[in-house]
Amino acid sequence: MKASDLLNIAGEHGAPVYVYDSNTIQSQYKRLTKAFGGVSNLRLNYAAKALSNLSILRLMHSLGSGLDTVSIQEVKLGLMAGFQPESIIYTPNGVSLEEIEEAAALGVQINIDNLSILEQFGSKHPDIPVCIRINPHVMAGGNTNISVGHIDSKFGISIHQIPHLLRIVALTNMNINGIHMHTGSDILDIDVFLYASEILFETAKNFKELEFIDFGSGFKVPYKNGDIETNIEEFGKKLTARFNDFCKEYGRDLTLAFEPGKFLVSQAGYFLAKVNVVKQTTSTVFAGIDSGFNHLIRPMLYGAAHEITNLSNPKGKERYYSVVGYICETDTFGSNRRINEISEGDVLCFRNAGAYCFTMASNYNSRYRPAEVLWHNGQAHLIRQRETFDDILKNQVDPKGLFANKKEQVGVK
């Protein structure tokens, strides 16, 4: 997208606002399918948690994607977006048996990641196909906040519990049709991921009626110029060859599945915010914007470094700024960043704002969540309205008379 397009959107829809470029999403989807073009049966299940707006889900459906969901609400959003139940995989963590049964009743693929629920579900519903999420104890990317394959992770069934798992399957006579793993985000070392894949292949040999093997995702995307990223093309070539060999060993073609989220939508997203104040202290120049970690929490939660540019003054002299928000907490988006000279009223752009940004937004400090806009075929389409004060009050209940005529009790005359 051009800077002028983003400025026009900020002018028309106000700031702060999230903007997504459909062309980038389509390009990333095609890049991933091409990398695994040598696989007979490939299924990409878009990870809805990354960006769950209905319009984005419908775009993914139009590309031929399946859907990876982690809650019953995401399952229902997927169905509303047009996905068939059989193209949705439901991979929750720590939810009740009742929620899993609700998802199963909708006809989606169930993926279970703990022995207790596996035994309960298998005892009650042995005929419903189930995928099993394995923890390979391989830390294939990122820190412990975004790497979920390490030994202390709450996700998945430990490979050391395979004997127990097999006993449950045998006693319940469950139908296991898939094996799954997800080692975490920001994977750079392809060889480490391939090592984890070997563990998954070895586990798969214990099940004779598999239909698919799901390798999760977590591919790293660049967050700034010169940043390193997962070499998808090299990875695709290596895993394709190994997967095809395994299918020959197994005796039939299986489906190779991934659940990309960040890889598909991160680089497609832009977050636009207006500068409220430029504040000089004894050692720092702050650019305070009309947003905070209520809208974009990743820098504070994960230490994520989103590139920040000044759309309003692209040719201005670069100076050092610390970009901060208006929340009554420390909410620093970037410290001492070189940005073209900033004035009050300028519009700043945060790049790589497509994944885990709006979906993690909140109403902290009773602030409104921003609008979302989809840039598609050269036009801006509003896909979520900015919240209003009515939205803040919408689900609050004020029992009439509860505190009426009680001024005396709180010392008010």
The catalytic residue positions are 328
Residue 341 CB burial class (10 angstroms; 0-12, 13-18, ≥19): middle
Q: How far is CA 342 from CA 4, 226, 290, 306, 320, in A?
A: 17, 24, 14, 17, 10
Give me the DSSP letters along 181-233. ---BS-B--HHHHHHHHHHHHHHHTT-SS--EEE----B---SSTT-----HH
Residue 96 CB burial class (10 angstroms; 0-12, 13-18, ≥19): exposed
Integer Cα distance of 130 and 127 in angstroms: 9
Among all chains, which residue has been given the structure tokens 């189930």? 130
* Alpha helix segments (H runs only) across 15-114: 22-35, 54-63, 72-80, 97-105
Give one word for 82, left, alpha or beta, with left for phi > 0 and alpha for psi -120 to 50: left
